[in-house]
Structure 1
Amino acid sequence: MADNLNNNNSRENVDAAAQTDSLRPLGEKDRKMGAFGYMSLWVGDGVNMGNMTLGASVIAAGIATLNIWQTMAAALLAIGIVSTLFTLNDRVGYRNGIPYVSHLKISFGEKGSLISSLLRAVPAVIWYGIQSWIGGTALNEVFKILTNGAFDNVVIGFIILLVVQILLSMKGFHSIKWVESVASVVLMIIIITVFVILLKDHSQAVKDIWVDTKGSWGLPFFGFVMVFLGNYAAIFLSAADYSRELKTGYSDKKRGLLYFIPIIIAYGSVIAVGAMLASATGYTNPALGLPALFDNVYVELFISVFIVFGAIAVNMVANIVTPTYVIQLFTKLDYKIAVIITGLLAMVSFPWLLVQDDNAKGLDMFVLIYSAFLGPMVAILIIEYYFLRKQKIDVDELYKKDGDFSGTNAAAIIAMLIAAALAFIFVDLAWIIGFVSALIIYPLITKYAFKGSKFKKGTIYEGR
Structure 2
Amino acid sequence: MTDNNNASLSQVETLKIDKSLMPRTEKQRNVSPIAYAFMWIGDGVNLGNMTLGASLVVAGLATMNVLQTFFAAIIAILIISVVFTLNDRLGYRTGIPYVVQLRMSFGIKGSIISSLLRGIPGIVWYGFQSWIGATALNEIIKVLSSDTFDNIFICFLILQFVQIVLSLYGFHAVKWVEILISIVILLALIYVFVLLVMNHRDVIVEKWFHTEGTWGLPFFSFVMMFLGNYAAIFLSAADYSRELKPGISNRKRGLLYFIPIVIAYGFVLTIGVMLASATGNSNPVKAFAIVVDNPYITVAVSAFIVLGAIAVNMVANIIPPAYVITLLTKVKYKVAVIITGLLAIASFPWVLVQDSSAKGLGLFILIYSAFLGPIVAILLVEYYILRKQRVNIAELYDEKGPFVGFNKAAVIAMLIGAGAAFCEVSLSWVIGFFVGGISYIILMKYSFKSSPFRKGTIFDK
Deviation track 1:94-133 (CA, whole Å, cap 9, x = no partner) reads 0010000001000000000011100000000000011000
Out of 118, 121, 126, the position equivalent to 1:120 is 118
Offset, 1:3: 3.5
Matching residue of 1:393: 391
**What pairs up with 1:319-358 in 2 under 5 angstroms?**
319-358=317-356
Offset, 1:323: 0.2
User: Aligned AA for 1:235?
Assistant: I
Matching residue of 1:160: 158
Q: 2-side partners of 1:2 and 1:142: how far apart?
A: 50
Q: 1-side partners of 2:194 and 2:217: how far apart?
A: 32
Offset, 1:175: 1.8
Matching residue of 1:136: 134
Out of 97, 102, 105, the position equivalent to 2:103 is 105
- Give the TM-score normalised by structure 1: 0.97
Matching residue of 2:4: none
Q: 2-side partners of 1:76 and 1:253: how far apart?
A: 18
Q: 1-side partners of 2:446 and 2:50: how far apart?
A: 46
User: Aligned AA for 2:209?
Assistant: V
Q: 1-side partners of 2:439 and 2:328: how far apart?
A: 29
Deviation track 1:224-282 (CA, whole Å, cap 9, x = no partner) reads 00000000000000000000000000000000000000000000000000000000111
Matching residue of 2:197: 199
1:309 aligns with 2:297: no
Matching residue of 1:180: 178
Matching residue of 2:279: 281
Matching residue of 1:14: none
Out of 417, 420, 423, the position equivalent to 1:419 is 417
Deviation track 1:197-228 (CA, whole Å, cap 9, x = no partner) reads 11111000100101111100111110100000
Q: Does the 8 Å contact 1:369/1:430 carry over to 2?
A: yes
User: Aligned AA for 1:328?
Assistant: T
Q: 2-side partners of 1:75 and 1:451: how far apart?
A: 43
Q: 2-side partners of 1:409 and 1:295: how far apart?
A: 58
Q: Does the 8 Å contact 2:282/2:356 carry over to 1?
A: yes
- Give the TM-score normalised by structure 2: 0.97
Matching residue of 1:247: 245
Q: Which runs of 5+ in 1 are unaligned?
A: 12-17
Q: Does the 8 Å contact 2:9/2:394 carry over to 1?
A: no
Q: Does the 8 Å contact 1:230/1:371 carry over to 2?
A: yes
Counting matched residue pairs gives 454
Deviation track 1:20-45 (CA, whole Å, cap 9, x = no partner) reads 11001001001010011100111011
User: Aligned AA for 1:239?
Assistant: A
User: Aligned AA for 1:387?
Assistant: I
Q: 1-side partners of 2:174 and 2:12: how far apart?
A: 26
**What pairs up with 1:40-59 in 2 under 5 angstroms?**
40-59=38-57
Deviation track 1:314-346 (CA, whole Å, cap 9, x = no partner) reads 111110000000000011111111111000000
Matching residue of 2:3: none
User: Aligned AA for 1:273?
Assistant: I
User: Aligned AA for 2:361?
Assistant: L
Q: 2-side partners of 1:451 and 1:376: how far apart?
A: 22
Q: 2-side partners of 1:183 and 1:460: how far apart?
A: 47
SS in 2 for 1:19: coil
Q: Does the 8 Å contact 1:291/1:303 carry over to 2?
A: no
Offset, 1:2: 4.0
Offset, 1:452: 1.4
Q: 2-side partners of 1:460 and 1:452: how far apart?
A: 14
Q: Does the 8 Å contact 1:419/1:433 carry over to 2?
A: yes
SS in 1 for 2:402: coil
Q: 2-side partners of 1:145 and 1:222: how far apart?
A: 42
Out of 65, 68, 74, the position equivalent to 2:66 is 68
Matching residue of 1:407: 405
Q: 2-side partners of 1:294 and 1:42: how far apart?
A: 27
Q: 1-side partners of 2:86 and 2:9: how far apart?
A: 25
Q: 2-side partners of 1:184 and 1:390: how far apart?
A: 38
Q: Which runs of 5+ in 2 are unaligned?
A: 1-7
Matching residue of 2:23: 25
Aligned identity (percent) is 59
